[in-house]
A and B are shown apart, each in its own frame.
Chain A
Amino acid sequence: MINAFLVFNGQGQPRLTKFYTQLDTSIQQRLISEIFTLVSNRPAGSCNFLPLPPLLAASSTSHTSTEEQSDVPSLVTYRHYATLYFIIISTTTESPLALIDLIQVYVEALDKLFENVCELDLIFNFETLHATLSEMIIGGVVIETSLDRIVAGVRAQGTVAKRPVNEGRSTIGSGMGIGGNFAWTGRV
């Protein structure tokens, strides 16, 4: 199953974190920063799989029996698009190559919803981000991989906010609070 789906930008600021098992916030932060360190040091042309970050490696080496092996997160797949990194942490029951395709499907779905998606869209429409993800993955299990159905599912939940051309540019900040986002969707 999929244990976590993360999106963060080139500076390591998370844009989407979805953990399918509960974790303390401090551990979430550490995991994200560890993965970011790994991901940002990748040379060009390297593969889309990361070695396990220390946090995960420490706990997974202690398991030897094959029975438990299928439950331990042991695969970190990432993809890099422009300013964003998309990360999936999963167990061995997922296929590594298929996960790469899954990230591609996710990004394509976002692209369809936002029309030429960029990082700003993800900042201001984080609900759409989550809604799209929950059309694809529920509780760590993939439920849909068809692009059209995903897009249709998200659209059925309401209109997707479009990015205005001139507005909002001046208010870009890295640490937008929840309140600000809420007001934004209220206006649309």
Chain B
Amino acid sequence: MVGHDMSWASFHVLEVMSSPKYHQKRVGYLGAVQSFRHDTEVLMLATNLLKKDLAATSPTVISLPIATLPHVITPSLALSTLADLLPRLNHSHANIRKKTLVTLYRLALVYPEALRAAWPKIKDRLMDPNEDPSVTAAIVNVVCELGSRRPKDFLPLAPRLFELLVDSGNNWMAIKLIKLFASLTPLEPRLVRKLLPPLTNIIRTTPAMSLLYECINGIIQGGILDSAEDVAGADEIATLCVNKLRGMIMINGDANLKYVALLAFNKIVLTHPHLVSQQEDVILECIDSSDITIRVQALNLVKGMVTSDNLVPIVSRLMKQLKSSLPSKDRRVPGSSANTPETESDDEAQTAITAPTVRDTQALLLPDDYRIDIIERILFMCSKDNYSSVLDFDWYIDVLTQLVRMSPVPRTFDADTGALLPTRQQVDVAEKVGDELRNVAVKVRAMRATAVRAADLILDQLLSENPVGHSLSSGALRSAIWIIGEYSIQLAMPDDSLNALLQAIPRIGKPDILAVALHATAKVFSSIAGSELEPWTAERKSRISLLLARILDVLEPLALHPSLEVQERAVEFIELLKLTAEAVSGQPPSTDENNQEPPLLLTQAIPSLFTGWELNSVAAHAQKNVPLPEGLDLDEPIHGNLGRLLSQTDIVTLQSDEADDFEVYYHQRPPPSSISSSAPAITRLADPDDDTAGSYQQASEDSYLDADILARRKAERMEKNKDDPFYIPSDNILRTSTPIHNILQNNNGPALDIDSIPVMQLDLEKIGHTVAAPSRPRPQPRQRVVVATDETLEGSDSGTGRQYDSENSTLPKARSKKSKQHSLLQVDSSTIGSFSLEGNPSEAFDYERQQREEAEMQQAMKEVERLRLEMQRANERIQMAQGADVQGVVIKKKTKKKAAAKKAADGAENEGTKVKPKKKVKKAASQAVEGGGGGGGEDASGAPAASADTSGTPPAKVAPKKKKKKKVAPVEEAEVAG
């Protein structure tokens, strides 16, 4: 009933349904509607009752089964009730007629043949001008449902439908007609010209907002906007639509109109992005709406509209939302409970419900999914077209750092609801943010130093935020650590970073991150210790030995880590570092008279492990474009006599040539060959600091960035612009510490009266000039930053067609392909989709036969299962009789397993033979018994062979027979088998 299980009452419901009293019958049918399912067993018993009630005289009784059928319909039920339903289409009551035709539609969804029989009658009803208008409206509704699936069958009806659209005063029907026409126009372009006058007429005159909206929607969806025939007319109608939609958003207070207008914009933006981008102002307003539904729609729109000009303001808005919603988590609990009184009071229930009430305002809470959505969209917008919209990467990196802090913690897997949870919740959004940071670090060479600093910051913050003893779980950790390791040269304070890494390693839970962290540690160590130029002093020696001891101390427990990857890396580095430690202790420090070189292992070997080619970003499809070398046969054995070769390797012979080959391969760039014509697109920039000249102040930055990030930004900006004459420093700084001021003070001493020096006056004059400057808007200078494109191989277009830049942007697509499961509540209309009204009945989809085949299949499967159980039982009996007959058990298991494998393999091709399994069972069984005469061992191999041409039943049968024989002479059998 209302959300409670009442399947136990099915039979009682059936009893009440069959009551002769109408009131009881009605309750019974209601129970059936609410509780019966396709698989309810008493449904079989109900068929006759339904047929009887369909033929009743009283219209109220007839409508009961008609209204019930759509809820319980199955193909077989449809088949048996179709004949009773069809005459009801001519019933004298309009009410019965319209209910019947809807029920016929639902019948057709599960049993398409019903439509073939019913369609001529429905069509007659539609064409009949004397038909009751409400019946016509119901037919239009049904046709609209059908039309969205198979529009081309309904083109012949267009004239009549058009007539109805022009003449009828029924708004609901008009809406449906417009929806129907929207799916018809793509098939028949001539309809457009005919439809435009009445549609524009309705748009201009109708008082009903819903009809107005549907007209606009119909025009958009029907492709009327982009019909090429009449360009001026199409433009005119497009402007009319967009203006009306803009009006809808602008109307104050009506959130529904805002929502539907945004929906419509979302459809227009696919074909006419320029029209929508004109409405940017109103759409951006909607992003800050208090209503999440509206926000999501506006977000969808904004995603398509973003350019380099409006990226920063849009992202700023979104960041502000995220930031302001952060503390809301704590408020949630009291907020919801305060709103719901504990007990249901009589008075409350007694108040009239016809007047819509206004609910008290609540603090806006952003659910986590929505915040994940926002973050994903920010990443998508910024990374679009290889970061073409991002002007200021400093800003972007700061945004990313902030996003890592704001990312919601991924929900832990919920056991009882887990199966139905969408997969996206398991993807940690912080990981995506981290990936973005890594992408920027790899692709934007000029920003590498900044990115490394950001990564350092993230690691520090994660360490300090999580209390000691708790494991670090942020998804951004992996990328941050990777950046620190890979670009350790750029680290400001590598010692501190190494410290942080060593602290983090014991607390990292996930093995994949741990593996990255191990590598990063080694990289940072090599950049700290590997310097060749630094003299090998006693101090350096002791420092490095200390460092080594610390690293070894951290790594050693990991040599026993359960994850193989971690274990392997840990063991490798431990051994290497131990060797290094030995070398370090063996090399005496240089003194004043005796200059000692640092150990080669430290300065040459370890750094050379990590300073090969720089890693560039490679397009996701590049691998596909690598041509297969000629003459490569992957199935060919690597060497004819591999065993001998392997045994030879026990005698190690070091060949210096090989090492050189490796050296050449790894450290020297090969001449570009025809195969790998990959040119790294990074144009190397001289000095990042000189290039990042452009700077500007984003007014609202402080509203979404954390204080520490802000302070750092400010300091940097000040530092950068210290000597820039075009930069207007803030007042207090100007007074106290202009560069000239400093110089003068330093040179002349504090006692001098600075103001008397004319140079200062010049400086003051400059202030006067520059005050006027900011009023004149200057175009934002694009930072001269080169963003590397993904490397890929030329030669084939297939892979490079979708040369998308960010991994994140490709993720949703991959996900969407994943499954085709049916949605909840969805009506399966796949059968009717392949059904043609004009088709030849003889070649129609034979539903019954399919059903019959399925039933036979199931029967056969049951038989298999039964035999398997029987066999198992027989086996148990034997075991009981013999004590523990080990061999018997082994043999039996073998047979069963092999049979199962066979079953899986043969399942597909043996569908036809499955119908008559019994016969084959006997045949195969006798065969097997003959084969198995020699003993159990032979039997085990003989049975699968016999089963090759059957469906898997025979081996099951074989086993019990054999066992029965065993019962007669169990001891000998067992001996033979052994």
Chain A residues at the B interface, C-beta cutoff of 8 Å: 1, 3-4, 9-11, 13-23, 25, 27-32, 40-51, 54-64, 67, 70-73, 79-84, 89, 93, 95-98, 100-101, 107-108, 111, 116-120, 123, 127, 130-131, 134-135, 138-146, 149, 153, 156-158, 169, 172, 174, 178, 182, 185
Contacts and interface: CB of A to CB of B under 8 A. Distances in A.
A28 B2 CA distance: 9
Given A70-B149, A93-B144, A59 B99 contact: no
B352 A97 contact: no
22 contacts: A16-B2, A17-B1, A18-B33, A21-B825, A41-B336, A51-B293, A64-B817, A72-B826, A81-B355, A82-B351, A93-B144, A107-B354, A111-B352, A119-B349, A120-B349, A140-B70, A140-B827, A141-B102, A143-B99, A157-B60, A158-B60, A174-B344
Given A10-B340, A64-B816, A142 B27 contact: no
B98 to A, nearest CB: 5
A134 B67 contact: yes
Contact of A31 (B7, B290, B348, B824): B824
Given A71-B827, A95-B213, A100-B256, 4 more contacts: A3-B825, A98-B175, A139-B102, A185-B27
Nearest to A181: B27
B179 interface: yes
Contacts of A29: 3
Contact of B102 (A54, A97, A138): A138
A141 B138 contact: yes
Given A22-B37, A142-B172, A144-B98, A43 B149 contact: no
A14 B256 CA distance: 25
Interface stretch (B257-265, B461-469, B862-870): B257-265
Nearest to B812: A61
B194 interface: no
B823 A60 contact: yes
Nearest to B817: A64
Given A49-B256, A138-B103, A43 B291 contact: yes
A32 B294 CA distance: 22
Q: Name the prevailing secondary structure of the A interface residues.
A: mixed
A22 B71 contact: yes
Interface stretch (B313-321, B356-364, B562-570): B356-364
A73 B213 contact: no
The range of chain B's interface size is 35 or more
Interface in B427-479: none
B825 A172 contact: no
A20 B356 contact: no
B291 A178 contact: no
Interface of B: 1-7, 22-23, 26-27, 30-31, 33-34, 37-38, 59-60, 63, 66-67, 69-71, 95, 98-99, 102-103, 105-106, 134, 137-138, 141-142, 144-145, 148-149, 170-172, 175, 179, 209-210, 213-214, 217, 253, 255-256, 258-260, 263, 290-294, 296, 336, 339-340, 344, 346, 348-362, 364-365, 369, 417, 420-422, 815-829, 833
A4 B357 CA distance: 24
Contacts of B818: 62
Contacts of B359: 42-44, 80
Interface centre among B351, B354, B358, B815 (most CB of A within 10 A): B354
Contacts of B30: 127, 130
Contact of A156 (B60, B171, B349): B60
A23 B7 CA distance: 13
A158 B209 CA distance: 36
A58 to B, nearest CB: 4
A9 B105 CA distance: 33
